Structure 1
């Protein structure tokens, strides 16, 4: 997840943005908004497939996560689709977007921060 969130979080001027909000906006724009909103609510999390996630996110995002984690692209998409609902649910316990910066989110949830390729990392 650290590698995925690392693909987000900065605008073109280099200002920090909320990476989780950017990710959810990508899903909303790809007609996966109902599923993404379910992860923010107290209702049961709706699932998405790896194919849907791969279609919703820019190609370079999945490719970068695959490269960083040394994992095939389709496997990255499938595994992210499995964990993303629960991770978003946990990052938004009150159904609200966390105000923290990317680094704060990464540190709070002990996600890897390096963009160097490593075979020692967990896949997501």
Structure 2
């Protein structure tokens, strides 16, 4: 996990691995890992990522991970010159698309390297998946047009 932004890295990793279309399954996994100390899904890279998150989830569950992860995401995008894209995903209205090359700059090399290591996916595959899934996921998780508290 990235040392500076573990919740954001976890959120991005899960979206890249399982995809936004499987968000209900992710919530079940989070709920199970958060309520059963040490619970792990041992099947494939998702299991390894969930295992690394079990402590964080036990401390606050999916709501805390989403809240802090989304906050870290917007902060990182602002720092790297792509705050307008992240803001469009949070606020009501159309979502700005962010091609993989710009997403790479917005996420930053440290988080991308951590995601590559944790998921086993190449940086190109991670960026392609996140470019597709991230805008809709952030939009869905911020239905009131603002970050959760």
Same fold (TM over 0.5): yes
Structure 2 unaligned segments of length 5 or more: list them: 1-8, 15-55, 57-64
Q: Does 1:48 align with 2:98?
A: yes
Distance 1:63 1:90 in 2: 26
Distance 2:83 2:76 in 1: 9
**Coordinate RMSD, CA, aligned:** 2.4
Name the SS of the counterpart of 2:121 in structure 1: coil
How far did 1:5 drift? 6.6
Distance 1:71 1:52 in 2: 19
Q: Does 1:88 align with 2:138?
A: yes
Aligned residues: 91
TM-score of the superposition, structure 2-length normalised? 0.53
Structure 1 unaligned segments of length 5 or more: list them: 11-15, 100-124
Name the SS of the counterpart of 1:18 in structure 2: helix
Distance 2:105 2:126 in 1: 13
The structure with the greater share of residues assigned to helix is: 2
How far did 1:3 drift? 5.0
**Runs of 4+ more than 6 Å apart:** none
TM-score of the superposition, structure 1-length normalised? 0.63
The structure with more radius of gyration: 2
